[in-house]
Structure 1
């Protein structure tokens, strides 16, 4: 059987290991497994969401409102935009897929930082496009512009805060990059972790309205992180109406579920849960920074709900990740990104204490 030749250059995306795998392979009870690998919200979901799921369970056999009128209206009000500026996806990564399919082909290329969200590359390669990366994981103006002027990519990805490293790019620097690039390039500003960056430092806060003055820029947001709705898969893109109109040609009907739509609408009604989530993160991440300083471990200053620990030649990220896994602690090994590093989602106080206890024993 023959497959599309572009598949030869694509590596399958590896999601964080599930709790079920650890239970199955290591015989650890589910209650004893601590999952800090996939940047999920450690305090779960807003209790109001559970009520919505229960109250709408009897309409799960019905397709959702494909216009998504209520959700788009709520997002439009939140961000002071029009509903024609919004497209909804099954996670913001589906909007990334729409962009790739709408813009890229085998004659096109994309540009991204040296270490960033893997799906940018995967979606580009699915369309046969070339992928170019800067030397460093930060979004450095000089590196991006040198590569941009050399390759003239059709799509540029700016992930801020950046996944999987955790660093962020200021609004001023993002605008500088946008204005230095041509209008024939689609610029994607991925703000999946923006709630955390904005709470840490206002200069890193970017809103869709900051970017609507540019007809080639699209902002991506998600309900998966601070809202605690990763399992519901709802994300969105916000851009000028002509760009959104073209992306709609890529969207399949009913691309999120009936229950996903209802809970996303509920999530836009009250920001108190998001504020609670961010507050817990700000408190607990200090423990990770202090631990790293006390144990001479490098780390990237994080603007997300996770932290990246950087190791020297005395520690091996894959060995550490495997040893933690056997103890029921799931974190993300970044060896596949070419980094001797691990990414740890900031959990609850109890989850973090469990991590530090096992990690201390392993590195000792």
Structure 2
């Protein structure tokens, strides 16, 4: 069978291994498995969200509210913006796809960092958009501007904090960069981990209201999959000026957000105690990973998200590390697909992190 030739250039996105797979392959009890691979919140969803889901589950025979009125109202109040500046997606990555739809035309180009969220390139290739990458793994905005001047891309992706590395740009540096970009170039600020960045360092936090008031060509992406722990319901959002939102809505499929996601996201947004607890967990546990890395002479990347990346260099092969941990019931992320001999670990609960340290120490002792 003949398929779109553009697919020949696309590699499947590598997701974190599910717990069910580890159960099947290694016969480990599900309760003994720790998943630290996909940057999920180990605390689970807010109780307010769970209660809302229980109350709404009997209405699954009905289509969801396609206007998402209640959730948009909650988000507009949260960010002090108009509901007209919002679009919802089945995960924020669906909004990346929408952006590709509306900014893809002959000879389109998309600019991104050398090492960043893989879906930017996958969507670009799907639409026949040429991808331009900086030479630096991190977001070097001088390099970005140099490539921008050279290639004049129709889209620029800034992932801050950056997945899978964890580094984060200062807000003022981002704004100075945006000041130099033509108004016809769509700049996507992927803020999937912005709640953590702002909690760790207020110089890193980007306020979407300030962003769209100042720039007409920018869209900010947020998600409920990370700090709000709704990854299983797949819901994200984009914030931009009306012109951009109106264009994106033309390619948004009807009822793209399910009923349970709508109510769970709304209630999660109201639960400030839960949010603070989730952020505080990462802030308290992240230093333990830094200390572990230092004590074992492992290079690590300072992170402003809910994960940390260990660079293994010649110490060990990342795939062997991941396999060893997997056999012990611990799932982490191998970064070989990013051409890095590195592992990315989601910050878990205190007991989960202690078990990771214990098992990884046993591996290191064998070297």
Per the normalisation by structure 2, the TM-score is 0.98
Is residue 36 of structure 2 the alignment partner of residue 36 of structure 1? yes
Q: Within 2, Cα distance between the matches of 1:32 and 1:189?
A: 37
The farther-off stretch of 263-272 and 290-299 is 263-272
Superposition map of 1:253-292 within 5 A = 253-292=254-293
Number of equivalences: 364
Is residue 311 of structure 2 the alignment partner of residue 310 of structure 1? yes
Q: Within 2, Cα distance between the matches of 1:312 and 1:242?
A: 47
Give the aligned partner of residue 130 of structure 2: 130
Q: Within 2, Cα distance between the matches of 1:160 and 1:171?
A: 9
Give the aligned partner of residue 24 of structure 1: 24
Post-superposition shift, 1:314? 2.3
Q: Within 2, Cα distance between the matches of 1:11 and 1:356?
A: 32
Q: Within 2, Cα distance between the matches of 1:106 and 1:327?
A: 50
Which ranges in structure 2 are unaligned for 5 or more consecutive residues?
Answer: none
Q: Within 2, Cα distance between the matches of 1:186 and 1:216?
A: 5
Give the aligned partner of residue 294 of structure 1: 295
Give the aligned partner of residue 69 of structure 1: 69
Q: Within 2, Cα distance between the matches of 1:82 and 1:252?
A: 22
Is residue 10 of structure 2 the alignment partner of residue 4 of structure 1? no
Matched-pair contact (CA < 8 Å) for 2:46–2:271: no
Q: Summarize deviations over 1:273-301 as a string: whole Å, max 9, x none.
A: 11100001100111100001111111110
Q: Within 1, Cα distance between the matches of 2:137 and 2:228?
A: 27
Q: Within 2, Cα distance between the matches of 1:171 and 1:93?
A: 22
Which ranges in structure 1 are unaligned for 5 or more consecutive residues?
Answer: none
Post-superposition shift, 1:206? 0.4
Give the aligned partner of residue 228 of structure 1: 229
Matched-pair contact (CA < 8 Å) for 2:48–2:271: no
CA distance 1:331–1:177, change in 2 (3 Å): same
Matched-pair contact (CA < 8 Å) for 1:308–1:341: yes
The farther-off stretch of 110-119 and 176-185 is 176-185
Per the normalisation by structure 1, the TM-score is 0.99
Give the aligned partner of residue 237 of structure 1: 238
Matched-pair contact (CA < 8 Å) for 1:106–1:127: no
Superposition map of 1:1-364 within 5 A = 1-212=1-212, 213-364=214-365
Q: CA RMSD in A?
A: 0.8
Q: Within 2, Cα distance between the matches of 1:293 and 1:305?
A: 19
Post-superposition shift, 1:259? 0.8
Q: Aligned with 2:239: secondary structure?
A: strand
Post-superposition shift, 1:106? 4.2
Matched-pair contact (CA < 8 Å) for 1:19–1:30: yes
